[in-house]
Amino acid sequence: MDTPPSPWTTWERNFATQMQRLREARKMTQTDLAKELQRFGLRFHQQTVQRVEAGERPVRLNEAYVIAQIFDVDLRSMTMSGSPADRDMLYAVDRLRRGSGGTAQAITEVLWEWIEDVESLGLAVSERLQISPDKPDEIARWGLAWVWKVLWTHEGFTNVMENLIQLEGEPARMHPEDPSEATIPTPDVIQAMREWIHRYGGRELTDAAMKEASELRAAFPGTEDDQKE
């Protein structure tokens, strides 16, 4: 009775086959791949890559992980059995998931740069509200209309980031009991703006905020001197 092949042997064979296929698809020579692996501190040469692809040398776990990272695919995808078309689908999904995570990180960095501009508006509105906190004047209400726009934009940012994080495969924690555990923290200025809208908001303010930005800017209720300041 024939002994079925060891799953470990199957996985290693699949990995070696996919390693060669991915390398060739990226138009990399065996020497090119060896040099990339050397950058990660692995002692690989052209002959090492050749032996791995020929099934003459086993691959250590740390080596397999780095090789998958170089090819930008999931390690499990390289060890699974299946047709080239099946693997292409897996690799495409793996790339999408990793790209989504990277995009979410990039958006996070841009978001925090934008928050610096938001804080400038927050400070101006806060100072204006102190003049008449119970009944904001026209300029304060004009500033609050921009606050509405900021909150809508921030919500759009966070919705996109939440979806990207979920595409990556990580659960996005948007509103945990402990704010420090949130995947996307809410800046203090955003929380303050939400409180202003809760206190001062109304149909008139909402209608003003829904105007195009250029139209709202042109509707500044102050004088020319106010605008220069």
Q: Of 31, 58, 81, which residue constitutes the final position of a domain?
A: 81
- Domain interval for residue 207: 94-228
Domain count, the chain: 2
Q: Of 52, 81, 110, which residue constitutes the final position of a domain?
A: 81
More confident residue, 31 or 72: 31
Residue 225 has pLDDT above 70, yes or no: no
CA distance 220 to 24: 62
Same domain, 70 and 105: no
Rank 48-52, 76-80, 131-135, 168-172 by mean pLDDT and report only the highest: 48-52
Q: How far is CA 37 from CA 62, 69, 104, 187, 203, in A?
A: 11, 10, 28, 41, 62
CA distance 171 to 194: 25
Q: Residue 140 in contact with residue 125, Cβ under 8 Å?
A: yes
Could you tell me where the DSSP H helices lie in 72-137?
Answer: 75-79, 84-129
Q: How confident is the model at residue 85, as a pLDDT?
A: 84
Q: How confident is the model at residue 222, as a pLDDT?
A: 79
CA 173 to chain centre: 14
CA distance 77 to 126: 54
CA distance 107 to 13: 39
Q: How confident is the model at residue 92, as a pLDDT?
A: 87
Same domain, 75 and 124: no
Q: How confident is the model at residue 228, as a pLDDT?
A: 46
- Average per-residue pLDDT for the chain: 87
User: Side-chain half-sphere of 40: how many Cα atoms within 13 Å?
Assistant: 16
Same domain, 130 and 201: yes
Same domain, 200 and 110: yes
Burial class (CB in 10 A: 0-12, 13-18, 19+), 165: buried
Residue 7 has pLDDT above 70, yes or no: no
Same domain, 119 and 77: no
Q: How confident is the model at residue 80, as a pLDDT?
A: 86
CA distance 161 to 101: 9
Q: How confident is the model at residue 146, as a pLDDT?
A: 97
Residue pLDDT, tens place only, 175-192: 555 555 556 778 899 999
| Percent of the chain topping pLDDT 70 | 87
Residue pLDDT, tens place only, 87-110: 888 888 888 988 898 898 898 888
Q: Of 25, 54, 81, which residue constitutes the final position of a domain?
A: 81
**99 within a domain of the structure (yes/no):** yes
Same domain, 112 and 65: no
Q: Residue 158 in contact with residue 184, Cβ under 8 Å?
A: yes
Residue pLDDT, tens place only, 181-221: 556 778 899 999 999 999 999 999 999 999 999 999 999 99
Q: How confident is the model at residue 181, as a pLDDT?
A: 54
Residue 24 has pLDDT above 70, yes or no: yes
**87 within a domain of the structure (yes/no):** no
